[in-house]
């Protein structure tokens, strides 16, 4: 006889308890427990040893060269590590309206030319998908559409059709009849993902899962969802802006440092092949407080414009804001300027912004932040053909950064004539033609230059 009982799940980490708790003992978050009704039945299974199960040594395990499938979108392939690995599960998260469904429909458009693709939607009707597809162009008949939320029906369709790639939009709308809770709950999301994972690994099907995000920007549901899948991708950017950034935060088959840059247009998402040129478009001329710095995202150098506005405070407590970078890092660098250089800016308001809405936290932009603040404070513009990068320490020293050769090459390609960089990084640069390199050891040397 089946018995019904209540289990309390932590929405943040998936921890289970028999009673409600104010604080989760696993992740230490408050007010995250929710009640779920589960059904348990007693079953007796004879313990047996599977004859096919063997304990193997590491040297006995044979590896097959996995052939990655190209999606037809180079920016997505870059983030995935070179393409889709057959049998993998990929979770795509992002804010509402950011372009998750649009990107995956474009993936279907390219993949359907070489393989069978099944797009399963639990949020949109077939007519809505057709309207969005008409804006993107022609689609192959190998793309099949299904509007369904019952996981048992979805599983039977996948086992019958055997597509090479499946899109689930979204996991929060799917429900398993064996789980006695509402769709989108902790139990439903976890069990639905477990069923899809078994299909992906057992049949060798690549499955994309769309996940809703919370107000904090993380995927809604238990954190165990991100642990179950092979790859987790996040769509970032302002939904009202034209650009989008696809960032990998977990990837079992590649690096998590790569990003893909897209531009939202009327006919879908377009790849931005040169993000540096895109980010610097519309840069003001002869304006104080504007500096171009170079940041690395994986193996890709991106040139960004750092803007600063420093003005006398009208109140007793100066105001500091930072958009696109770490607020505490800006305060730290301003303290270094006041202590090591003697720049009295403790009673000045400071507003720092990275143009274009992109967010960068790499320490290599420290030198750009320093120069932008000083340039605005002294009201002296910096040469528009000058680019800077370097990490700044608490003693005012300029420390080395990784991949200086790639940064200099990107600056030279976009027409910059002077590059201010850490002096210890000069020996790592082999090709110095076409650009003047100025090595500095401290921020006092940098300020003497400008």
**Angle, vertex CA 367, rays to CA 388 and CA 334, nearest 5:** 150
Tokens representing 37 are: 């009704």
Going by their DSSP bridges, the two strands 391-392 and 165-169 should be labelled as unpaired
Please tell me whether 96 is known to bind a ligand.
yes
Residue found by looking up tokens 């795509």 in the block: 92
Please tell me whether 97 is known to bind a ligand.
yes
Of 342, 326, 423, 427, whose CA–CA distance to 377 is shortest? 342
Please tell me whether 381 is known to bind a ligand.
no
**Calpha distance 140→410 (Å, rounded):** 39
C-beta separation of 18 from 8 below 8 A: yes
Please tell me whether 99 is known to bind a ligand.
yes
Tokens representing 423 are: 């002096």
**Angle, vertex CA 102, rays to CA 97 and CA 105, nearest 5:** 150
Q: What secondary structure letter does DSSP report for 175?
A: B
Q: What secondary structure letter does DSSP report for 337?
A: I
Of 10, 62, 13, 8, whose CA–CA distance to 35 is shortest? 8
Please tell me whether 167 is known to bind a ligand.
no
**Three-state secondary-structure class, residue 446:** helix
C-beta separation of 182 from 172 below 8 A: no
Please tell me whether 98 is known to bind a ligand.
yes
**Calpha distance 386→414 (Å, rounded):** 11
| Number of neighbours of residue 31 by Cβ within 10 angstroms | 11
What phi and psi values does residue 437 have, to the nearest 5 degrees?
-100, 130
Binding residues for ATP: 94-101
Binding-site positions read 94-101
């Amino acid at each position: 006889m089946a018995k019904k009982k209540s289990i309390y799940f932590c929405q943040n980490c998936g921890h289970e308890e028999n009673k409600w708790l104010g604080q989760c003992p696993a992740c230490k978050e408050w007010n995250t427990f929710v009640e779920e009704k589960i059904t348990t039945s007693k079953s007796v299974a004879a313990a047996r040893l599977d004859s096919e199960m063997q304990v193997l040594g590491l040297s006995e395990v044979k590896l097959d060269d996995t052939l990655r499938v190209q999606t037809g979108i180079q920016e997505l392939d870059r983030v995935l590590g070179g393409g889709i690995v057959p049998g993998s599960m990929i979770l795509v998260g992002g804010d509402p309206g950011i372009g998750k469904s649009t990107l995956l429909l474009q993936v279907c458009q390219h993949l359907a030319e070489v393989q069978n693709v099944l797009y399963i939607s639990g949020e949109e009707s077939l007519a809505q998908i057709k309207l969005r597809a008409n804006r993107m162009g022609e689609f192959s008949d190998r793309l099949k559409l299904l509007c369904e939320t019952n996981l048992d029906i979805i599983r039977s369709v996948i086992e019958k059709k055997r597509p090479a790639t499946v899109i689930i939009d979204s996991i929060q709308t799917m429900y398993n009849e064996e789980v006695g809770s509402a769709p989108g709950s902790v139990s439903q999301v976890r069990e639905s993902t477990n069923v899809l994972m078994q299909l992906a690994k057992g049949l060798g099907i690549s499955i994309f899962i769309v996940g809703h995000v919370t107000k904090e920007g993380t995927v809604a549901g238990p954190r165990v969802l991100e642990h179950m899948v092979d790859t987790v991708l996040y769509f970032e950017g302002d939904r009202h802006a034209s650009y989008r950034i696809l960032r990998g935060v977990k990837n079992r088959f590649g690096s998590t440092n790569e990003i893909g840059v897209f531009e939202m247009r009327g006919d879908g998402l377009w790849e931005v092949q040169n993000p540096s040129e895109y980010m610097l478009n519309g840069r003001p001329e002869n304006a104080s407080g504007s500096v171009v710095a170079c940041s690395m995202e994986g193996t890709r150098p991106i040139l960004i414009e750092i803007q600063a506005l420093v003005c006398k405070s009208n109140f007793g407590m100066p105001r500091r804001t930072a958009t696109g970078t770490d607020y505490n890092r800006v305060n730290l660098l301003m303290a270094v300027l006041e202590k090591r250089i003697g720049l009295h800016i403790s009673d000045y308001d400071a507003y720092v912004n990275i143009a274009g809405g992109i967010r960068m936290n790499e320490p290599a932009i420290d030198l750009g932040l320093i120069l932008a603040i000083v340039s605005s404070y002294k009201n002296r513009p910096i040469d528009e053909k000058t680019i800077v990068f370097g990490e700044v320490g608490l003693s005012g020293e300029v420390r080395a950064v990784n991949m200086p050769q790639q940064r200099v090459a990107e600056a030279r390609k976009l027409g910059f004539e002077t590059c201010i960089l850490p002096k210890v990084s000069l020996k790592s640069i082999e090709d110095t033609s076409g650009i003047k390199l100025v090595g500095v050891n401290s921020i006092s040397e940098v300020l003497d230059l400008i």
